[in-house]
Amino acid sequence: MITAIVLIKTSVDRIPEIAEAIAALDSVSEVYSVTGTYDLVAMVRVSRHDDLADVIPGRISKIPGVEATDTHVAFRTYSQHDLEAAFAIGLEG
């Protein structure tokens, strides 16, 4: 599974509608409204790198009100769950 974090600039008066349209796309798992330079952050998960082109420039960028995207592809995932599992190795009875 390939995860991309997509930072999105939008028309600020349409953030809720744009976020809902992005969240409705198949490969988008979450959309967050955020403070700062960007208005939304979308988590995109696909099977192949080529699929990123279908989702990001092919769908997200074409949603009316999306002004720009900046995509970051994740190398590894670190989560609290992963860290707990790593430190628990060998501690079972």
CATH assignment of the domain containing 63: 3.30.70.920
Q: 25 in a domain, yes or no?
A: yes
Query: Based on the structure, what is the number of domains in the chain?
Result: 1
Q: Confidence class of residue 88 from pLDDT cuts 50, 70 and 90?
A: low
Q: Which residues contact 19 (CB under 8 A, 6 or more apart)?
A: 31, 33, 40
Q: 93 in a domain, yes or no?
A: no
The reported pLDDT for the residue numbered 78 is 79
pLDDT tens-digit profile of 31-87? 999 999 999 999 999 999 999 999 999 999 999 999 999 999 999 887 766 555 555
Q: Which segments of the chain does DSSP mark as H helices, in order?
A: 15-23, 49-55, 80-87
Q: 7 in a domain, yes or no?
A: yes
The reported pLDDT for the residue numbered 76 is 85
Residue 67, domain extent: 2-87
